[in-house]
Amino acid sequence: MTEDVLKEYLRHRAESSSKYHETKDGVYHASETSQCLRKLYYKRKAPEDKIPKDESSYPHFRLGHLIERIYFNALKHKHSYMHVRNSVPIRHEFDDFELVGQTDPVILGENLKPKRIYEVKSTSNIKYSKNEPSKHHVFQVHPYIAALQCPCSIVYIQKTNLSTATHEVNFDPSIFKASVDRLRELHKYLNDNKLPPSEPFSPKFECKFCSFSKHCNKDIDPRDID
């Protein structure tokens, strides 16, 4: 009974948040700049009721969201309420597609101009994030940095005891260009109805958690998923 109540709540929260990530033709999210193009193609082309749902990930997403909220409150406690904003929307327009996103907390300066972006990532084991941020996260924050024109701190927080590791990321035009080039490539594959190659952006873990691995291994077109 207790478990059912919890599962239903987590499902509800996951479904509400997935509405924000609903796909629109020609509009891509910052987090998609560093994902396997084939996986993104499957997500956008497969019939919605055929896209496998991974309910085991729901608790992790919820805990991650709560940890981000704690960090936001901690920043408001340190700075004045007026100088901390959450979920600042960003948007970049290119020829025939857009790159959009929403930040985690942003600190504003005296003139209310963005001064520092924080991107909060919860992790099960902080030791993997001690030395450097993941390339995947560095790509994700570049559209924020480019839009708000201030540096970003990627803050890793361990779920068990809230210990942290923080890495500053400054704007690197080559990373931003590579992000945009990936989206341009994806946009072309989608328009041409052509399955991209099976090349994960993060080979160490992306295929392991990919909902489409069994289709991908056989080069199945997403519209033929049954």
CB of 207 to ligand SF4, least distance (A): 3
Task: Provide the binding-site residues for ligand SF4, judged by CB under 6 A.
Answer: 36, 38-39, 42, 198, 200, 206-207, 210, 212-213, 216
**CB nearer ligand SF4, residue 86 or residue 198:** 198
CB of 137 to ligand SF4, least distance (A): 17
**CB nearer ligand SF4, residue 90 or residue 220:** 220
**CB nearer ligand SF4, residue 153 or residue 179:** 179
What is the rounded CA–CA span in Å between residue 34 and residue 137? 8
CB of 3 to ligand SF4, least distance (A): 30
Q: How many CA atoms lie within 13 A of 51 on its CB side?
A: 13
CB of 121 to ligand SF4, least distance (A): 20
CB of 204 to ligand SF4, least distance (A): 11
Rounded to 5°, the CA angle 168-170-173 comes to: 150
CB 170 within 8 A of CB 68: no
What is the rounded CA–CA span in Å between residue 66 and residue 88? 18
Which residues contact residue 89 at a Cβ distance below 8 angstroms, ignoring those fewer than 6 apart? 100, 101, 102
CB 102 within 8 A of CB 88: yes
**CB nearer ligand SF4, residue 191 or residue 217:** 217
**CB nearer ligand SF4, residue 36 or residue 147:** 36
